[in-house]
Amino acid sequence: MSEPVLQVKGFKGTVITHNWIRGLDGVEYDQFYGTISVLSDTEVVGFEAKGHDTANWIARIEGETSSYNIMGCQVKCIIQSDEKPQTVRGLIIP
């Protein structure tokens, strides 16, 4: 079996979402930068999500003091990079 091309746990990068997601500061963002782990639904919530429009994986973006969990169905793409994005629409997870 081949190894995944993308490291799936503990890498720096940006998650770009399909829709805006409200941050804890009340502002809406569509990009989140931090330490990313791609997890199965059972790892995060303890049961398997079933249905035609549900995601069975979650992108967890962590910082030093907080984290965000975004369902896979909301993820447009994940960019693996140690560099912080140069954007006004993104949230760098503290």
**pLDDT given at position 38:** 92
- Averaged pLDDT for residues 83-94: 79
On whether the pTM is more than 0.85, the answer is no
For the stretch 57-69, pLDDT in tens is 899 999 999 999 9
Q: Take residue 91 and report the two structure tokens written for it.
A: 């949230």
Radius of gyration of the chain (CA): 13
Three-class SS of the chain: CCCCCCCCEEEEEEEEEEEEEECCCCCEEEEEEEEEEEEEHHHHHCCCCCCCCCCCEEEEEECCCCEEEEEHHHEEEEEECCCCCCCCCEEECC
- Averaged pLDDT for residues 63-87: 90
How deeply is 14 buried, as exposed, middle or buried, from its count of CB atoms within 10 A (0-12, 13-18, 19+)? buried
- Averaged pLDDT for residues 67-79: 92
Mean pLDDT for the chain? 84
Annotated domain spans of the chain? 9-92
Q: How confident is the model at residue 79 (pLDDT cuts 50, 70, 90)?
A: very high
**pLDDT given at position 18:** 93
